[in-house]
Amino acid sequence: MSNFLSILVEVLKTTLPIFIVIAIGYFIKIGKILNEEATEGLNKLAYNIGIPVIIFTSLIKYKISEIFSFKLILLFYVIFILFIFVVFLAYYFTKLDKKIKGAAIVSSYRCNSAFVGFPVLLSAFGTLAVAKAGIMVAFLAPLTIFSTVLIFKFFDPDAAGVSKKKLLIGLMCDPLILAAISGIIISYFGIDLPVIIDSVLDMFSGMAIAIALISIGASFKFIHIKENIKLILIASLSNLVLLPLLGLILSSLVFKISDIDRNIICILLATPLAVSAFIMGKEHGSDYNLISSVLIISTIVSAFTMSGWLIVLKLI
């Protein structure tokens, strides 16, 4: 019992500060300190500079042999492809509106691995976990982006065509992917960065997590939550419980990876819906109100589910 309580206290020390900062972001928004444009600017700052700096600085601290694992990347792909397939079939045969189907499917598997997963991993398991996670998220980005676009298009065939060239350029210029590639190159060749650059990167990485978390809270809009509440809860729990459960089973029983690698995968999969899913849903004419509602509910509920997953991972 005392061991469980000590683990519980340790987990709450990790998760509570993260979700308190998210809540502060919401209250900053309703206090009109931030408007819509400022919130959008925070999101862009966090995604384009803050989180990439965290990935890059974590990667360059280790040798490439310590952080790169083809087996982990393969496992990540297997988990997502299998889960997307099952969720797609589950919703395909329902009588829901097509746009709602697409929004629900995407909301069931898109994870906020960078904005929420990295802070939790950093606090719970350190920079090595973030370095490994950075590589995994970068390699997974093509699958999540292409699958999201394809699902939105499949359930809205009348939508405007998607430029393959634009999609490919956007993927190649994605800040998270560029940060991971740059970090891998620096790590592989053992290049030492100048002290001044190190200091600048430390300053950016220090503020990055707070900016990312505040931007999540500031993005909350509760107006549409009453619509399709049952579907919102199903999508949220799929993302927060079923996806990481599949990851835990495959990690432990099939691929039989190390405990730290298993923990990284489970935490990345247990994160709430990604803000980028809402942005893409709006761009592609999907039911972005449903996606926005799942974003809010999954983020709030994840304060409890992610704490639960951390407890489970520390006990097994």
Q: Which of 179, 187, 176 is nearest to 68 (CA)?
A: 187
Give DSSP secondary structure letters for 225-280.
Answer: TTTTHHHHHHHHHIIIIIHHHHHHHIIIIIS---HHHHHHHHHHHTS-B-HHHHHH
111 bridge partner residues: 273
Q: Which of 16, 40, 50, 52 is nearest to 216 (CA)?
A: 40
Q: Would you state the pLDDT for residue 161? A: 56
Q: SS in 3 state form for 304-316?
A: HHHHHHHHHHHHC
Q: Would you state the pLDDT for residue 67? A: 87
As a CATH number, domain 2-315 is: 1.20.1530.20
Those residues with Cβ within 8 angstroms of residue 155's Cβ, 6 or more apart along the chain or in another chain: 98, 99, 101, 102, 105, 286
Q: Would you state the pLDDT for residue 107? A: 95
Q: Would you state the pLDDT for residue 285? A: 78
Tokens describing residue 153: 């298009």
Amino acid at 179: A
Q: Where are the alpha helices (DSSP H) in 118-157?
A: 118-125, 127-154
Count of CB atoms situated within 10 Å of the CB of 178 = 16
Task: Give the global pTM.
Answer: 0.84
Q: Would you state the pLDDT for residue 255? A: 94
Q: What tens-digit pLDDT sequence spans the chain (316 residues)?
A: 556 677 778 888 888 888 999 899 999 988 988 888 888 888 888 888 888 888 888 888 888 888 888 999 999 999 999 999 999 999 998 988 888 999 999 999 999 888 899 999 988 999 999 999 989 988 888 888 888 888 988 887 565 555 667 767 776 788 878 888 898 889 888 888 898 998 898 888 878 888 888 888 887 877 777 778 999 999 999 999 999 999 999 999 999 999 999 999 999 999 999 877 887 787 777 888 898 889 889 999 999 999 999 999 988 8
